[in-house]
């Protein structure tokens, strides 16, 4: 397989090719099938699935909040697409969010639970961002708990997390809202940007969009632009860059994470569209973030994105994860619509070529979450098939107008059809 795109002119964009579009729908359907049949835990929440799509065997499984909320979001999308049974999964997840993750005594939402109750009872901005996304998606499909959840999570974010002086959120608290650290992170704020846009689309509340724009200005226009469009991950309480911070490799790896540059490239174009194309810096930044991720993060010999780079732009975690490729596909699709070029089109094709060859598990279903630097499957950070969210959005984003969240553009497209 060729890792470097070199073959313009390219003719009809793949996103307009009916055969490619059919293939994308089939891939999305395969993902839904893989997760839908076994993911519900009758005791509440959702199971983590193994390579074959069966619940990972454990006597008392832990349910983390990002897993619960992403399932709600994804199966709300499935409901919008008319897939039977998706509404059952949305309802199951919403009940667990409201009755289990939600801390009725102290407010907010705990990070994880098992059958005995809270396992990790901290209040994390990352998790709360996904509660907002789930509530917004549930509102679009008319779930009866959606308005209550939306009001509750909006109030919690406002009163506990949002720091007006910085235009971003604080990171983490104990169960009774004592600050756990002075750490501030871009990852939670990036996902909050995604959720705030979805909340704006679902409610029309302009405050959500204004705050998304403020976060983007801080993380990208201020910090990433000054670093040659490398997205810094870790900061102090005053939002000064902390180059030495070392957290866990799953959520807070040392150095920079090219996958997040790609995620921001798409989010910026969506934010620019929703905001009436007022901020000219956003599409410029999106182009640069995509270009830098390819230049510095893509393995030019073997293919795939290195998970994390050091501050000299050398691979620090050279393993290849599924989600950077998924986010790169979404970013390339948005760029192909708003900034069409042979460069973006060829990378869109190259990314799908790599994904099909190495990440999609054509035998068992789902996407392999992790590869070694040399591309065989591995399991040093992730086990089983841990996620529907990134892969599903990669399959669906190219099928719809690059103007908003999937929960906005799918219903609009259905109405127009």
Residues annotated as part of the active site:
260, 390
CB neighbourhood size of 374 (10 A): 13
Could you tell me if 344 and 336 are in contact, meaning their C-beta atoms sit under 8 angstroms apart? yes
Residue 373, preceding peptide bond in cis (omega within 30° of 0): no
Residue 379 burial (CB < 10 Å; 0-12/13-18/19+)?
Answer: exposed
Could you tell me if 237 and 182 are in contact, meaning their C-beta atoms sit under 8 angstroms apart? yes
Kindly report the backbone phi and psi dihedral angles of residue 210, in degrees, each rounded to the nearest multiple of 5, phi listed first. Answer: -60, -40
DSSP 293-336: IIIIIB-TTT-SBEEEE-TTS-EEEEEEEHHHHHHHHHHHHHHH
Q: How far apart are CA 319 and CA 370, in angstroms?
A: 7
Strands 172-173 and 123-124: antiparallel
Q: How far apart are CA 288 and CA 266, in angstroms?
A: 12
Could you tell me if 101 and 153 are in contact, meaning their C-beta atoms sit under 8 angstroms apart? no
SS3 content of the chain, % helix, strand, coil (to 5): 50, 10, 35
């Amino acid at each position: 397989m060729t890792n470097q795109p070199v073959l313009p002119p390219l003719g009809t964009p793949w996103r307009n090719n009916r055969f490619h579009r059919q293939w994308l729908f089939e891939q999305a359907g395969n993902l839904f099938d893989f997760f839908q049949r076994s993911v519900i835990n009758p005791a509440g929440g959702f199971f983590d699935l193994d390579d074959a799509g069966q619940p990972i065997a454990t006597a008392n499984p832990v349910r983390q909040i990002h897993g619960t909320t992403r399932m709600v979001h994804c199966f709300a999308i499935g409901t919008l697409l008319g897939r039977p049974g998706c509404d059952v999964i949305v309802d199951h997840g919403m009940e667990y969010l409201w009755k289990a993750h939600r801390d009725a005594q102290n407010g907010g939402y705990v990070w994880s639970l098992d059958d005995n109750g809270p396992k990790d009872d901290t209040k994390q901005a990352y998790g709360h961002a996904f509660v907002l996304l789930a509530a917004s998606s549930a509102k679009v499909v008319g779930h009866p708990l959606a308005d209550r959840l939306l009001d509750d999570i909006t109030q919690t974010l406002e009163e506990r997390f949002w720091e007006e002086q910085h235009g971003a959120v604080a990171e983490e608290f104990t169960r009774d809202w004592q600050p756990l650290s002075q750490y501030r992170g871009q990852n939670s704020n990036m996902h909050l940007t995604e959720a705030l846009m979805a909340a704006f689309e679902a409610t029309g509340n302009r405050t959500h969009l204004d705050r998304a724009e403020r976060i983007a200005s801080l993380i990208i226009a201020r910090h990433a632009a000054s670093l040659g469009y490398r997205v810094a991950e870790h900061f102090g309480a005053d939002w000064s860059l902390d180059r030495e911070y070392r957290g866990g490799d799953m959520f807070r790896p040392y150095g920079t994470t090219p996958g997040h540059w790609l995620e921001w490239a798409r989010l910026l174009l969506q934010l620019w569209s929703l905001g009436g194309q007022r901020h000219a810096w956003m599409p410029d930044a999106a182009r640069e973030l995509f270009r830098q991720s390819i230049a510095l993060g893509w393995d030019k010999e073997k293919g795939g994105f290195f998970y994390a780079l050091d501050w000299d732009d050398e691979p620090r975690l050279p393993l290849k994860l599924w989600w950077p490729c998924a986010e790169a596909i979404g970013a390339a699709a948005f760029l192909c619509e708003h900034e069409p070029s042979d460069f973006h089109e060829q990378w869109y094709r190259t990314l799908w070529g790599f994904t099909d060859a190495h990440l999609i598990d054509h035998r068992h279903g789902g996407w392999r979450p992790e590869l070694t630097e040399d591309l065989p499957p591995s399991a040093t950070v992730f086990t089983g098939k841990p996620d529907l969210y990134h892969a599903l959005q990669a399959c669906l984003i190219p099928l719809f107008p690059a103007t908003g969240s999937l929960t906005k553009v799918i219903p609009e497209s259905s109405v127009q059809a």
